[in-house]
Amino acid sequence: MIAEIKNELEKIKAECINQIAQTDSSTALYNIKVQFLGKSGKLTAQLKNLRNFSDDDKKIIGQVVNQVKADLENEFSKKEKALYSIELEKKLQNEKIDITINRPGFIMGKPHPLDVLLKRINSFFVANGFIIQETREIETSFYNFDALNTPADHPAREAQDTFFLEGGAGNILLRSQTSTGQIRYMQENKPPIKLISPGRVYRADEVDATHTPCFHQLEGLVVAKGINMGHLKGTILEFMKFLFDEKTKIRFRPSFFPFTEPSVEVDASCFSCKDGNIDPACKICKGTGFLEIMGAGMVNRQVLKNVEIDPDEYSGFAFGMGLDRVMAILHGINDARVSFEGDIRFLKQF
């Protein structure tokens, strides 16, 4: 009797193992498990038969049944694991998305060369301990002119004629220079100050190849004890070397700005005319050997007074340049409008 049952149990086990081996899906495997080990499964049915046996026989058969059950459970879990990794692999294959696909009619965007240039310049100044200060484009006359030593009747206002907002009583305007942010910063912070302020500025100009009513400026300001023209020169020389190349030289020409005294125009030697040999046909510098890059100077004492910084204790320098112009020089672009038109044919070239 016992031998028969044992035999039966072995048969069930062999059958089950055989089915496990042949299956290749986890759903099917689960069904097999239910069929053999489930509540009304084949093995469980054998356990139910036990009640017809003597206690001693029950013990022996019980042990055999439990052993078979443990063996089968082990087989199931081995197969479950194997199927799981196969099925996962299949799923990953099927769900793979090719993000490199080049869909027809789909145009990829690109950073504008102006942004690329600005990021590069920012990195230079941040590495040299400057903070980046960005402020509002809508300003009052005070921040754009008066505080910068350009009172209402000053002729320099004309060169920076800008747009006045309706209802602003001639007092609210679009800033014509990013120097506005420097006034704001100096009102709120004590020296030492080291900042650059990049951003959009506006001037009432007609649009042509060299003028746009909106362009981008980047200004710098350093105010501390004992700042002199040497600091201005050293900073700008390093900046120009970074922007163009190591061999770059600079030259100062006397100039005028209401907010700096003395004031200079800064030219950088042409990076295209190699080794100081000026090429009379050079398209970049027009055969002059130099490129006009920026305005600069020592911060006017009056400007410091306007923001309640004592000019006897502190001094500073400032510089300002047009980013669009520098981008044009670097890439040999001869039309200022490209900064604003978003023409994809232009962007594609970079």
Give whichever of 83 and 224 is closer to ligand PHE, judged by the CB atom: 224
Q: Which stretch binds ligand PHE (CB under 6 A): 6-14, 22-30, 58-66, 312-320?
A: 312-320
Q: Which amino acid is at 173?
A: L
The answer to whether 324 contacts ligand PHE (rule: CB under 6 A) is no
Nearest distance, CB of residue 343 and ligand PHE, angstroms: 27
Binding mask 169-188 for ligand PHE (x = CB under 6 A): --------x-x---------
Q: Which amino acid is at 282?
A: C
- Which residues are bridge partners to 88 per DSSP? none
Give whichever of 139 and 219 is closer to ligand PHE, judged by the CB atom: 219
Give whichever of 250 and 273 is closer to ligand PHE, judged by the CB atom: 250
DSSP class per residue in 325-348: HHHHHHHT---TTHHHH--HHHHT
Q: How far is CA 5 from the centre of its chain?
A: 74
Give whichever of 31 and 140 is closer to ligand PHE, judged by the CB atom: 140
Nearest distance, CB of residue 98 and ligand PHE, angstroms: 50
Nearest distance, CB of residue 320 and ligand PHE, angstroms: 3
Q: Which of residues 206-225 bind ligand PHE (CB under 6 A)?
A: 219
Q: How far is CA 179 from the centre of its chain?
A: 26
Which residue in the block uniquely carries the two structure tokens 């100050």? Answer: 193
The whole-angstrom separation of Cα 184 and Cα 198 is: 14
Nearest distance, CB of residue 182 and ligand PHE, angstroms: 8
Give whichever of 36 and 317 is closer to ligand PHE, judged by the CB atom: 317
The answer to whether 319 contacts ligand PHE (rule: CB under 6 A) is yes
Handedness of CA 225, 149, 252, 197 (dihedral sign): positive
Give whichever of 217 and 248 is closer to ligand PHE, judged by the CB atom: 217
Helix (H) or strand (E) holding 291: strand 290-299
**Among residues 244, 257, 290, 314, the one that binds ligand PHE under rule CB under 6 A:** 257
CA R_g for the chain: 40
Residues touching ligand PHE, count (CB under 6 A): 11
The whole-angstrom separation of Cα 138 and Cα 174 is: 5
Measured in degrees and rounded to the nearest 5, phi and psi for residue 196 equal: -120, 145
Nearest distance, CB of residue 260 and ligand PHE, angstroms: 5
The whole-angstrom separation of Cα 227 and Cα 328 is: 32
The whole-angstrom separation of Cα 298 and Cα 300 is: 6
Give whichever of 76 and 319 is closer to ligand PHE, judged by the CB atom: 319
The answer to whether 306 contacts ligand PHE (rule: CB under 6 A) is no
**Among residues 41, 258, 297, 316, the one that binds ligand PHE under rule CB under 6 A:** 297
* End-to-end Cα distance, the chain: 89
Output the six-digit token pair for 12. 């069930």
**Among residues 43, 114, 222, 318, the one that binds ligand PHE under rule CB under 6 A:** 318
Q: Which residues contact 237 (CB under 8 A, 6 or more apart)?
A: 248, 249, 250
Nearest distance, CB of residue 349 and ligand PHE, angstroms: 29
Q: Which residues bind ligand PHE (CB under 6 A)?
A: 177, 179, 219, 257, 260, 295-297, 318-320
